[in-house]
Chains A and B, each alone.
Chain A
Amino acid sequence: MKENILIIGGGAAGMEAATQLKKLGLNPIIVEKSERLGGHIAQWDRLFPAFHPAKDVVEQMLNNVKDVDARLNTEVTDIQRDNNGFHAVLSNKETIDAKAVILATGFDLFKAERKQEYGYGIYNNVITSLELEKFFKEGKDPRINNPKKIGFVHCVGARDVKVGNTYCSKVCCTTALKQACEMKEVFPDAEVYTFYMDLRMFGPGYEDLYLKTQKDFDVKCIRGRVCEVSEDMDGRLVIKAEDTLFGKPLRMTLDLLVLMCSMEKAKSIDKIQQKLGIANNSDGFMQNKDMYLGMNDSKQDGVFVAGTCTAPKSLPDTIGEARSVAVEVFNYINNK
């Protein structure tokens, strides 16, 4: 009989792990709390660094898991260890017995309201990176009304002890530049500014994207953190930041401000995480065994972690981890 592997979370990590586990002859069961598989990436329009449609990747992943047992609109409400592994109770009262558990619960986007000085939820034309991506995907957002001047704010909810997140969220820099270029595509006449502290172009082709941003799209990168956003008489946004390279504070009027929100560990899993005895690390993400050879292992036997539940990650990183967790689980089952 095929061994059951419980995968909590049906995003990129969960889907990819399930695909690989199936190929390895195990029986993955995905429990997904929303009404569809695909996670955050399914809301995305195009991917950095090469503007590849996210849809292509997501559809392929969905196709790969079409034979996988997936419970949608379902959450794990209780989980216990027994002689055979784990006994999980789902929100639909169903129970699942599994030999191993993979936590692929991903992230929550930082709630931009928490950084009140940026005015999200106060001023109409302050939006989040996710909302902008939805605009690219769906082609409409009442707040985006032929803007002439657009600003991107990096590190919203990241590298900021004042919101309790001291880590770098890794993907926002590249995403900001990608979205800045896309805005220039949609609104060629607009001036686009990004306000960064460090541009962390860590992956293959990312630096090329940076170059393209400057050369082909004329996006202006200003090194300085935006500190305050207010509104003028006409309802346009006035931002304050220091141009740290020029060494002077500046004010600028904008029609649209995009906040690059950071990733935080998904809160909805807290209870189950506690039941399984998985602690958080100092960044508030799940603690794995070690960051080199044990990145998919938790400190609890039979519980594995993959994707952005342990740290902010890009899509390729996540897929890589999903594949490696499948091998880890396969070895775990076979060595038992």
Chain B
Amino acid sequence: MDFGFCLSPSSHVKMDSIDLTTFNRLKETNPDVNTCIACGSCTSTCTAGNFTEMSFRRLLLMLQRGKEDEAKKMIQRCMLCGKCTLVCPRGINIRKILLDITR
């Protein structure tokens, strides 16, 4: 029976209603955003990740799960050093994607 309310709001990601505008726009210019295999190389090598929560792997997921604000906040930590781009086994142009998100 649906009483129209529940005790606490669901913490689930609501995949039916999330806003993917940024990710879809990103996908147009950078089709390789879809090719991540989530190996974590970018995160573990990240110069900023040494001091902060910066993780490009998670950032891509955030955009795909409607957490755009969190993603943009994360980018602020980035030093754009390019190590992630250098190690990515799928050859994803990470530096470009990071910049394009902020455009």
Direct contact of A and B (CB under 8 A): yes
Chain A residues proximal to chain B, CB less than 8 Å? 117, 155, 159-162, 197-198, 223-228, 240-244, 247, 249-250
Which one of A155, A197, A227 contacts B87 once the chains associate, using CB atoms below 8 Å?
A227
B96 contacts partner chain A, Cβ-Cβ < 8 Å: no
Task: Contact check, B89 vs A224: say whether CB atoms are below 8 A apart.
Answer: no
Which B residues fall within an 8 A CB radius of A? Answer: 37-41, 43-46, 49, 55, 57-58, 86-91
- Residues on the A chain within 8 Å of B39, using CB: 197, 224-225, 242, 244
Can you list 19 A-B pairs with a CB-CB distance of less than 8 A? A159-B37, A160-B89, A161-B91, A162-B87, A162-B88, A162-B89, A197-B38, A224-B39, A225-B40, A227-B41, A227-B45, A228-B45, A241-B44, A242-B39, A242-B40, A243-B40, A244-B39, A247-B58, A249-B46
CB-based A-B contact count at 8 angstroms: 61
Residues of B within 8 A of A244 (CB): 38-40, 43, 57
Going nearest first, the 3 A-B pairs with the smallest beta carbon separation are A242-B40, A225-B39, A161-B91
A interface, over-half SS: strand
Do B43 and A242 touch across chains, with their CB atoms under 8 A apart? yes
Most buried by A among B37, B86, B89, B91: B89
Identify which of B46, B55, B89 contacts A225 (C-beta below 8 A). B89
**A225 contact set on B, CB distance < 8 A:** 39-41, 44, 89
Q: Which residues of chain B have C-beta atoms less than 8 A from A197's C-beta?
A: 37-39
A117 to B90 Cα, complex, angstroms: 17
**Do B37 and A242 touch across chains, with their CB atoms under 8 A apart?**
no
